[in-house]
Amino acid sequence: MMNKRTPIQSVILYALVFALVIFCVFPFLQILSTSLKHPIDWGNPSLIPRVLHLDAYKELLGLMPVKEVDVPASIQRLLDNPALSAEKKQMLLAKFSSGSDVFPFGRYMLNTFVISFVTGICSTFLASLAAYAIARLRFPAQSLMANGVLFVYMVGGVLLMVPLYQMSVNVGLASSAGGTIFSLFLIYLIQTLPVAMYMLGNYFRTIPFSLEEAAMMDGCSRVEAFWRIIMPLSKPMLFTVFIYCFVIAWNEYLFASVFLKQYQDFQTLPLALQTLFTSKNAIWDRIMAASMLTLLPVVICFMLANKHLSGGLTDGGVKG
């Protein structure tokens, strides 16, 4: 501010900043550290592992060499029997290999990525159309819709889980895997649309109208002006909004748990991680490595979008 700090004040300031940053970052360091520790090292309070132990990551990413299966001698004799077809041998082997022990992390990550990506794209696109209309055009019931969006955004998912589940049962979507995923996609769409519309609407208002006007003078239609002038100018914000929607879908647990419980192959990471944690395979290093890998894409997205994200969220202060 206006006066220079005394040395003591500086020390206090840096100490406070350091304390705050540690408070925020410590759980992340704990996750990273535990994911790299050997089980014998867990009780060690130091964050630095005694030995670097990468097995958990290798296992999750499928880099672990396939373990030789322990087969009882009697079965081994059966397997050595040339009369047995290869197919039968495979089936026998499969019974003894510990298939339930493998956590198909890559599969869950792909599921999560696909649904988050599609949600992000669709939501950003639909929201940009609607936000442009609300920010720039005059039409009936406009302010009702603008305020309605805000209202809708504050109605949390918990209040809608029963009716949405019942609706998808009634329509018959919940009875097939494809239908369930489609329901989930629609739900992620409504969870992201209002905030996307809000952020984009605020942003479009900051673009000078004279730019569109000039384009329309040059013979562009309104739609062309939107498409050729506004959209390219808004690229950074569109990207930010996409990331924001992507992350919301990536993190979502409640509806995934309601809809995907019985479709194990299509589960998303949050649900799969929770299942892993409560299962007998729960081992700290594996859970932490999985957490780390779930976290990583979000942190990368966050770093990419950080600049605009903070501003976009606070302009008008909607998201809490």
Site for other proteins in 40-99 (CB under 8 A): 42-43, 45
H-state helical runs in the chain: 7-35, 55-60, 73-80, 86-96, 105-136, 142-154, 157-171, 177-205, 209-217, 222-225, 231-233, 235-251, 254-260, 269-278, 284-314
Q: Pull the structure tokens for residue 49.
A: 């592992």
Please report where in the chains the tokens 């890998």 appear, as a residue: 293
Tell me how many residues contact other proteins (CB under 8 A).
100
Report the residue number, 77 or 125, with the smaller CB distance to other proteins: 125
Rounded CA-CA distance 229/221 in Å is: 11
Is residue 106 at the binding interface for other proteins, with CB under 8 A as the rule?
Answer: no
164 binds other proteins (CB under 8 A): yes
CB 36 within 8 A of CB 53: yes
Instruction: Quote the least distance from Cβ 89 to other proteins, whole Å.
Output: 40
Q: Nearest approach, Cβ of 62 to other proteins (angstroms)?
A: 20
CB nearer to other proteins: give 178 or 227. Answer: 227
Q: Residue 263 in contact with residue 160, Cβ under 8 Å?
A: no
Q: Which of residues 267-286 bind other proteins (CB under 8 A)?
A: 269-270, 273-274, 277, 284
| Contacting other proteins within 283-312 (CB under 8 A) | 284, 287-288, 290-292, 294-295, 298-299, 302-303, 306, 310-311
Residues near 238 by Cβ (< 8 Å), separated by ≥ 6? 124, 128, 200, 231
Between CA 319 and CA 316 the distance in angstroms is 9
317 DSSP 8-state letter: T
Stretch 217-256: interaction string toward other proteins, x if CB under 8 A: -----xx-----------------------x--xx-xx--
Which residues in 180-199 contact other proteins (CB under 8 A)?
A: 186-187, 189-190, 193-194, 197
Extract the tokens encoding 319.
Answer: 């998201």
Q: How many residues does the chain have?
A: 320
- Based on the shown chain and the rule CB under 8 A, indicate whether residue 2 belongs to the binding site for other proteins: yes
**Cβ-based neighbours of 190, under 8 Å, separated by 6 or more:** 152
Instruction: Tell me the closest approach of the beta carbon of residue 281 to other proteins, in angstroms.
Output: 14
Which of 8, 51, 86, 154 is the binder for other proteins (CB under 8 A)? 154
Indicate if the alpha-carbon torsion angle 250, 254, 260, 261 is positive or negative.
positive
Q: Please identify, using beta-carbon distances, which residue of 75 and 254 lies nearer to other proteins.
A: 254
Interface residue with other proteins among 56, 109, 130, 237 (CB under 8 A) is: 130
Quickly tell me which residue has 């009882």 as its tokens. 72
Of positions 7, 8, 23, 65, contacts other proteins by CB under 8 A: 23
Q: Least Å distance between CB 150 and other proteins?
A: 7
Binding-site member from 7, 163, 219, 232 for other proteins (CB under 8 A): 163
